[in-house]
Amino acid sequence: MAVKVRIPTPLRKLTNGADEVKADGANIKDVLNDLEKNFPGLKERICEPDGALRRFVNLYLNDEDIRFKDNLATTLKENDELSIIPAIAGGVF
């Protein structure tokens, strides 16, 4: 099933400038593998070599953090929306 994936600006060079792409999969892990197949190099910027989500990358499924769901095993429905959000650090209060 196809889901819409929102791509952050730093990763758009891998998606030929697209801010949204479609990917197929029954769960988030499948979608990440499909993204890698269609946009080589994207998964390695999102996941560690062991496949776990990188510490400073957040994935939101329909505005809900997947870490509060089943993480990469979270199942998907047709037309779900997955957002890749890089964490931002630094600054002064």
Residue 43 confidence (pLDDT) = 96
DSSP line for 19-84: SEEEEE-SBHHHHHHHHHHHSTTHHHHHB-TTSPBPTTEEEEETTEEGGGTTGGG-B--TT-EEEE
Q: How many angstroms separate the CA atoms of 87 and 5, rounded? A: 17
pLDDT digits (tens, 9 = 90+) for 15-52: 999 999 999 999 999 999 999 999 999 999 999 999 99
Q: Is the pLDDT of residue 7 over 90?
A: yes
pTM: 0.90
Q: How many angstroms separate the CA atoms of 6 and 75, rounded? A: 18
Please name each of the domains of the chain with its CATH number: 2-86 (3.10.20.30)
Residue 90 confidence (pLDDT) = 59
Strands lying side by side in the sheet with 64-65: 20-24, 2-6, 81-86, 57-61, 64-65
